[in-house]
Amino acid sequence: MEITNVTEYEAIAKEKLPKMIYDYYASGAEDQWTLKENRNAFSRILFRPRILIDVSKIDMTTTVLGFKISMPIMIAPTAMQKMAHPEGEYAIARAASAAGTIMTLSTLATSSVEEVASTGPGIRFFQLYVFKDRNLVAQLVRRAERAGFKAITLTVDTPRLGRREADIKNRFSLPPFLTLKNFEGLDLGKIDQSNDSRLTSYIADQIDRSLNWKDVKWLQTITSLPILLKGVLTAEDTRLAIQNGAEGIIVSNHGARQLDYVPATIMALEEVVKATQGRVPVFLDGGVRRGTDVFKALALGASGIFIGRPVVYSLAAEGEAGVRKALQMLRDEFELTMALSGCRALSEITRDHIKTDWDPVHAVARL
C-alpha cells in the first residue's frame, strides 16, 4: 500500500513496535483530552483563499535564528528514538539534513550529541532538561556546543513528569539493549550505569522541580548559544520569557503528555504571538499532521512548526527513508496549500487567509 500522508505511518508503527514502546510514543496524560484536541483544533480553522494570483513560483525558504532552512517544518525532540528503529537519531539527523531543515536532539536520546554530529553536516538544536546536578547540565550544554549544535531548546513545562497511564500500566522502561547516550561517561553519582531501566527512572527523578526564571538567566552565563523556551502557553509567561533573555518561544504542551486540559497549541498560539510584539520568533509543536496545519500555524503568527510523533512513526515504519518521505509529503502539502491560497512566499501568508471560531462575528476583512 502506498503511503499518501504522514498519519498513515502511525498504524504501521503500531503493528511493528512492541506495545510498551508504541504506547510510550502515542499516549498523552490522564484522560488524553488535550491529545485529541491538539488535532481537532486544527479542523476548526478554515481557509480564506485568494484567487487569480500567479503562483507558478513558490518560495518556502525561511531563516530560524539566522540559519536558512528549506521550509518552516522542523523536527521536535523525542526521547529514545532507537526504540523505534535501530538507526534512531542517526536516521532522523540524516533525513533532516537531506531535507534542509533543523533537527532537535533530546537530552534523553539513545545517541549522543557527538554521535549525531558525526552523521554529517546539518543545523541541529539540543533540547535540555535541567537536572538537580547543575554540573551535569553544564557538561551537557558544553558538549552540545562543541558538537556544533546551534541552539538550546529549554523544556520549561516539566518540573515533574505528567501522569501517562499507559506507561504505568505497561511498567515502561528503556529496553536493556539501549542506553541514554548523553549520560555515558558522566558522573551520575550512585547509580549502576549498566541497569538502564534504573537509569531512566533515575533521570526522571533528577529533573529539578525548583527550576525557575533565575535558571534561564544562569543558562545564559554558561553558553553563548541562543535559548528557546519550549512549553510556553500564555501571554504572561511570554513576556517573562523575553524579559529573561529567551531568543525564541515554542508554544508546546509537550505533545499533550504533561498537564491534561490545557488548550491545543494552535489555540494558544495567537495569544503568545501577540504578547511578543514581534520581539522574538514564535514556533509551535503539537498536532501537526498536514501541510494545511503548517499554513494555519503561520497564518496565526508562527515562524515555523516542529513535528514529533510523525517522525517517530515514519522512522519505525521505514527507517531513514520513512522520515525523508514524511518530511517530503508535508513539504508538498504545504506548497500546495500556499499555491491554492494565493501565497508565493511565507511573508504573504497572513491572518486574513484563515477564519477561526474566535473571530468577531461581523469581522470585516482587513484590507
Query: Residues comprising the binding site?
Result: 24, 77-79, 106, 127, 129, 155, 164, 230, 252, 254, 257, 285-289, 308-309
Q: Which residues make up each annotated binding site for FMN?
A: 77-79, 106, 127, 155, 230, 252, 285-289, 308-309
Element (H, E) at 98: helix 88-99
Contacts of 367 (CB under 8 A, 6+ apart): none
What does the alpha-carbon distance between residue 11 and residue 314 come to, in Å, rounded to a whole number? Answer: 10
Q: The C-alpha cell of 94 is what?
A: 540524516
Which letter does DSSP use for residue 225 in this model? Answer: S
Q: How far does Cα 253 stand from its chain's mean position?
A: 10
Within a 10 A sphere around the Cβ of 146, how many other Cβ atoms? Answer: 11
Element (H, E) at 235: helix 235-243
Within a 10 A sphere around the Cβ of 150, how many other Cβ atoms? Answer: 18
> Cβ distance 327 to 101 under 8 Å?
yes
Q: Which of 334, 336, 323, 331 is nearest to 9 (CA)?
A: 323
| Residue given cell 538502564 in the structure block | 196
DSSP assignments along 150-212, one per residue: -EEEEE-S-SS----HHHHHHT----TT---GGGTTS--SS--TT-HHHHHHHHHHHB-TT--
Report the Cα–Cα distance between both ends of the chain, in Å, rounded.
46
* 353 catalytically annotated: no
Q: Which of 85, 254, 353, 362 is catalytic?
A: 254
Q: Which residues are catalytic?
A: 254
